[in-house]
Chain A
């Protein structure tokens, strides 16, 4: 029942929000709905009862598709991330105003519902349905409330992801016709028999869709532009949660459906992922724009996840699963700071900033902690994930792991650059009269920082959830 409610609450909440005209009302309403969803998610995470965690009802019997929802280890982690994100995002951007706020928040909830559906679906057609449901509101959010170049950029974003979705659909349909019982159910897909060349083709069709979503080099160019142009609340949702749909789908669908093809193609994918890590890190070092720096840093981090996914090691897989959560927490925090600075000072350019630590010490401290998590310092949440992922990569190939580890050195360079150029040094004209961040921003950041540190010191509960997931899927690979 919880599984169903997790989707219904944001859908209904979103639909209601679409029709609320008053901005203050809709904000309060949005916060309320997001907190209810969070409580539901928490109940789901702590629940062990099968009836609560699973939901199954006939949907399109002729096609062999059912509405099958389920919460297992992996999806618990991602559902929690999705549910935590929205209240944090709404709190942090509470003072931002949007023309047509009702529609804005309504679409945010529909997007959230889509993502929750992706994580909960145990039926491929349903999964595909939610995949698109998450995408379409995001498209409107970017094109209506985005920055100057929003139309052009959103078009690129849409073309990219839509092409990916179509390729994935082709692959799904092909496999569907190969299932013995013509069913979209997860187990039917897992047990489908494909010839080697069929599997090879379908694997790539499916994978490219996910690679665009993650994104993995060289499919990443939609991302920096979109993150830059989208309204920050949407950027948080996209980078904090939506990119995890790609990673998640690899674990949930790609690896179990194509165990052999995944293994055969792992070397080329890992090589591209590692190239992408270094490539994005080097670009991040040269960025003058805070949002673009964070975007490229994210590409580098996701590249590591992708490499670890295909290393075919349980330890790496577990690292990926918890890192999906950790990365989301950290990057949302970084966006919050970027937004706070841009809203207050009107710029994101490092060359126009400096010395902000003197004027905004609280923001500086919270930002530094998040940055430390961004470089995966031990006792922050990201360390455990990266430690396990690199460990998995090392077991796959020590040389590749060594090359990939260069990225953590480069991460230190660009992250510390960012701190220095914004917060250290002397104040400049623009920051002379700056003030500290407001209460709602601090509150959101403090919550994130607490999560960062608690999960950094005591990651075991998260690891236990991840273990369920990793056990389930790694065994599929021969």
Chain B
């Protein structure tokens, strides 16, 4: 029952900080908020080592959530290798972000500071819920929970209407995905009468191939929304409106990895549907490339990182699509380290520059922010896939798996994307940290390294970003792929043929070579000439994110809005209502004229009754036609 403590601590933190936000001092709030996550982390460690040592962790349901005759859904948690690993990532990285926040958010007013920490705790709570649930419905509770928390935190500065808009967009986009998720659950329930992972995966043979394809595709729509893939990715870059540590939390520890978790968790289903696997892979690689092109042209430091997250998530989905489940989960882990590091590093920069996020007004920060600089560089090398940094091992595993499963095209496109990744990351690095400072004199005089609460989390994350890859060293380097062995009981359908070591080395050589090339070009270009120009031509289209937001607005949002206005102003006013009022007026008028009865009102009722009968008669007469008409449609 230890497992129930894991989400309980953040929940208590949320309640305490939320309810007593006016009376608690900032230091107490920080201790409660961070301490709750630390406590969860400690319990998670215990659970993790239990699982690792082969301890059987049968978790009893807490109570029956929905128990009706056609199905039964328990309020139950489950700890296995996959969820234990995610627990460590969520609480570990989450804890560092909390500590960082105590300093980063210190200028906030007391009660808003507490509000911030209570939301942060709630966010971690929801994510833990999502990962721990023993069935799809409990997962869905956490799933919508993180959507809510992202809404609350993106719109944390609620006086700013643009931020509110971004928050709303995140929630609505997620909801679109959630509809798919819900339909998938309904389909599962209708066929198997259960949503428990164990029961579903044990009974997949009862499902027809149509069922499996339908369910997996619908669930994947949910993953598209939550993990910001084409076509529902546009909320994530806008989510930058929230405070920077929140971005780190969304991008690294919680939220966006949920989609990966869900597909990996459902590997028993996905591996049976070639259609779904191909869809996942294609959406993944397409998103990876599209987001990378956009990242190249962004000038806002957080936007570059945001699009890089979208792109890296694309790689993870590519891995899931080609059957490399472990590789994807591995990349979730390494990405959590280096992306949290990069975002927190960016936050340190923004903090030092007094909320300047535009890279055109940065430069030369290496001298002023030495710790931030060196840790940030480690993050850049890790995400670019330079050996022996962590990102190298995980990205390489996904690309090699694509190649080994005869998706050479995906592999080639993935390598191109890796080159772009290296390029835009070092474009960011060069314009921010190298060269001369391009901000105002006043900013320059105030430049200073951030306090310990910020730099210590950076150092820890940098260490993890450097060495994190060693937990899963592949055979060619004499490792024993320990993560594979650890996760094998959950990711049973992993399917990656062995490559010969010569081929393996060749593939690595190519991708590392392309990445280094990207770095060299970026450095050569931006050290010499760090000023970022206003983009022209195609560059402008890319800088404006291919105008995808505008296209969505024109094609979907605006027409629906106009339709609503049309219904409101025309149909309601003159259509249905006009008809009813017209009838009323007509009857009042005629009854007065006809003086059939003394009391006008009674007359109204009688006439109206007669009238209604006539209307009904007409409806009945045509009823078969109406029903036929609709039956044809469906």
User: Bound complex: CA of A221 vs CA of B572, how far in Å?
Assistant: 7
- Most chain B beta carbons < 10 A, residue from A221, A390, A459: A221
For residue B563, CB closer than 8 A to chain A, the reply is yes
The interface size of chain B toward A, counting residues with CB under 8 Å, comes to 65
Take A267-B627, A378-B141, A463-B67 as given contacts and tell me if A406 and B179 are in contact as well, using a CB distance cutoff of 8 Å: yes
Query: Contacts A283-B568, A412-B172; is A460 near B67 (CB within 8 Å)?
Result: yes
| CB contact list, A296-353 vs B, under 8 A | 314-315, 318
Known: A221-B577, A394-B186, A409-B176. A463 touches B616 (CB 8 A): no
* B417 CB to nearest A CB, Å: 31
| The residue from B67, B148, B584, B604 contacting A372, defined by CB atoms under 8 A apart | B148
Q: Which residues of A contact B589 (CB under 8 A)?
A: none
- Taking a contact as CB atoms under 8 Å apart, the answer to whether B164 and A424 are in contact is yes
A357 in contact with B158 (CB, 8 Å): yes
Which chain B residues border A471 with CB–CB below 8 Å?
Answer: 69
**Contacting pair A159 B608 (CB below 8 A):** yes
Q: Which of B40-48, B58-66, B356-364 forms part of the interface with chain A? A: B58-66
Encode B570-596 as 1/0 by CB contact (under 8 A) with A: 001000110011001000000000000
> In the complex, which residue of chain A has the Cβ closest to the Cβ of B144?
A378
Q: Which residues on the A side are within 8 Å of B66 (C-beta)?
A: 384, 387-388, 459-460, 463
Complex contact A424–B148 (CB within 8 A)? no
A320 → B minimal CB distance (Å): 13
A271 to chain B, nearest CB (A): 5
A232 within 8 A of B: no
A127 to chain B, nearest CB (A): 20
Number of A residues near B (Cβ < 8 Å) is 69
**Bound Cα distance A271, B631 (Å):** 10
Does chain B have a CB within 8 A of A435? no
Interface residues of B in 482-534 (CB under 8 A from A): none
A406 CA to B424 CA, complexed, in Å:
38
Say whether A399 faces chain B, with CB atoms less than 8 Å apart. Answer: yes
| A416 and B179 contact, CB distance less than 8 A | no
> A378-B140, A420-B168, A467-B68 are contacts. A355–B572 as well, Cβ < 8 Å?
no
Query: Contact at B584–A159, with CB atoms within 8 Å?
Result: yes
Bound-complex Cα distance A397 to B500 (A):
51
Nearest opposing residue in chain B for A288, CB measure: B568
Known contacts A378-B141, A424-B161, A279 near B567 by CB under 8 Å = yes
Give the residue name and chain of the B residue nearest to A463 (CB): B68
Contacts A221-B572, A283-B564, A315-B68 given; indicate if A399 touches B634 (C-beta within 8 A).
Answer: yes
| B171 part of interface (Cβ distance < 8 Å) | yes
A268-B627, A416-B171 given; A379·B145 CB < 8 A: yes
- Do A163 and B67 touch (CB < 8 A)? no
CB contact under 8 A between A267 and B168, given known A162-B605, A282-B564: no
Q: Give the docked Cα–Cα distance between A458 and B66 (Å).
A: 8
Q: List 26 A-B contacts (CB under 8 A).
A: A159-B604, A160-B580, A268-B630, A283-B564, A283-B567, A284-B564, A287-B568, A314-B70, A315-B71, A358-B159, A384-B66, A387-B137, A388-B66, A390-B186, A391-B186, A394-B186, A394-B187, A405-B182, A406-B179, A409-B172, A412-B171, A424-B159, A425-B164, A460-B63, A463-B66, A463-B68
Chain B contact residues, CB within 8 Å of chain A:
63-71, 111, 137, 140-141, 144-145, 148, 151, 155, 158-161, 164-165, 167-168, 171-172, 175-176, 178-179, 182-183, 186-187, 189-190, 560-561, 563-565, 567-568, 572, 576-577, 580-581, 584, 604-605, 608-609, 612, 616, 619-620, 623, 626-627, 630-631, 634
Contacts A286-B561, A361-B111 supplied; 12 other A-B pairs, CB < 8 Å: A160-B580, A167-B616, A221-B576, A267-B634, A282-B560, A283-B564, A285-B564, A377-B145, A388-B68, A406-B179, A420-B165, A425-B164
